[in-house]
């Protein structure tokens, strides 16, 4: 097994120390110290080399496993996964997950599809409905058969029927809406890190404390009528989102564009 440089003792709280261990192991993976497919040294050897306790080491290994970097084989050991494809997308363009996956050269899929009509007054209000009824669509999204996201979408029964949602096993929600004459023109969104919680963790096989990137979004048609309210939970290590930003213009600064503040993510 390759030798591991010792991490200097860090007198900080538990979370900071395990993150330092995670970063050190990740650095070695990136630099080829632990190539894809290789087995890590035993926990005893790692704790001695890194100068940390088994509790700290196991927390770091857990995070790397949730990120898809490592895989633990019961009774065998911990191995470095083969390099996984990172799906990139620019936030200035409002693309669905199906489109993002396809543009990155992978095959989109769905391993879970649950659809029902529910009473959800707060969500119905976001969709401009007053009777409180909405269609809820829960899916696990895959890329080349690899789970990459958990999504929950809400649409109005005026726009789609519950029966029509069965086609989401083979097509995107955006494509289904377009087939029914509903076209998305713009969107407003917010992006926040969240913990998986028990429902998502049980669905994806993660720890409830696993951190995911959540995009909450409302899609609008050309007249500004809301068509979809969605929450997308992306696995860490699966997606990379980018955005172009400009500095606000100042008096006498010809390089400024006149825009004040960052662009709205869509």
Domain ranges of the chain: 14-80, 87-242
Q: What is the CATH number of domain 14-80?
A: 1.10.10.10
Is the pTM higher than 0.85?
no
Q: At what angle do helices 14-30 and 54-66 cross, to 10 degrees?
A: 60
Q: Which residues contact 215 (CB under 8 A, 6 or more apart)?
A: 189, 190, 191, 230, 231, 232, 234, 265
- The better pLDDT of the pair 252, 224 is held by 224
Q: Report the pLDDT value the prediction gives residue 266, as an integer from 0 to 100.
A: 37
Tell me which residue of 190, 186, 177, 192 sits closest to 219, measured CA to CA. 186
Mean pLDDT for all residues in the chain: 85
* pLDDT value for 265: 39
Q: Give the pLDDT of residue 253.
A: 59
**SS3 string of 192-213?**
EEEECHHHHHHHHCCCCCCEEE
List pLDDT tens digits, range 38-82. Answer: 899 999 999 988 889 999 999 899 888 877 788 888 788 898 877
| 3-class state of residue 60 by DSSP | helix
- Helix, strand, coil percentages for the chain (3-state, nearest 5): 25, 30, 45
Summarised one tens digit per residue, pLDDT across range 134-183 is: 999 999 999 988 889 999 999 999 999 999 999 999 999 999 999 999 99
Looking at residue 258, its pLDDT comes to 45
Question: Look-up: residue for tokens 């860490």?
Answer: 236
Identical fold, 14-80 and 87-242: no
What mean pLDDT is predicted for residues 235-252? 83
Domain 87-242 has CATH 3.40.640.10: no
């Amino acid at each position: 097994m390759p030798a591991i440089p010792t991490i200097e003792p860090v007198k900080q709280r538990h979370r900071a120390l395990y993150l330092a261990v995670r970063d050190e192991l990740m650095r070695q993976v990136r630099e080829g110290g632990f190539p894809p497919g290789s087995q890590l040294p035993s926990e005893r050897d790692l704790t001695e080399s890194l100068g940390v306790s088994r509790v700290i080491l196991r927390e770091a290994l857990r995070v790397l496993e949730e990120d898809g970097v490592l895989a633990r084989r019961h009774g065998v050991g911990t191995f470095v996964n083969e390099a996984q494809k990172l799906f990139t997308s620019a936030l200035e363009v409002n693309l669905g997950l199906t489109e993002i996956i396809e543009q990155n050269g992978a095959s989109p899929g769905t391993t879970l599809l649950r659809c029902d009509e529910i009473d959800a007054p707060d969500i119905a209000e976001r969709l401009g409905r007053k009777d409180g009824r909405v269609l809820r669509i829960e899916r696990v999204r895959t890329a080349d058969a690899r789970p990459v996201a958990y999504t929950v979408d809400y649409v109005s029964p005026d726009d789609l029927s519950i029966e029509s949602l069965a086609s989401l096993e083979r097509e995107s929600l955006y494509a289904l809406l377009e087939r029914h004459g509903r076209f998305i023109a713009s969107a407003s969104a917010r992006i926040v890190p969240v913990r998986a919680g028990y429902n998502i963790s049980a669905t994806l096989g993660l720890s409830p404390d696993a951190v995911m990137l959540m995009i909450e979004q409302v899609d609008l048609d050309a007249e500004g009528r809301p068509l979809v309210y969605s929450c997308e939970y992306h696995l860490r290590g699966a997606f990379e989102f980018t955005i172009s930003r400009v500095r606000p213009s100042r008096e006498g600064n010809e390089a400024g564009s006149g825009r004040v503040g960052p662009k709205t993510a869509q």
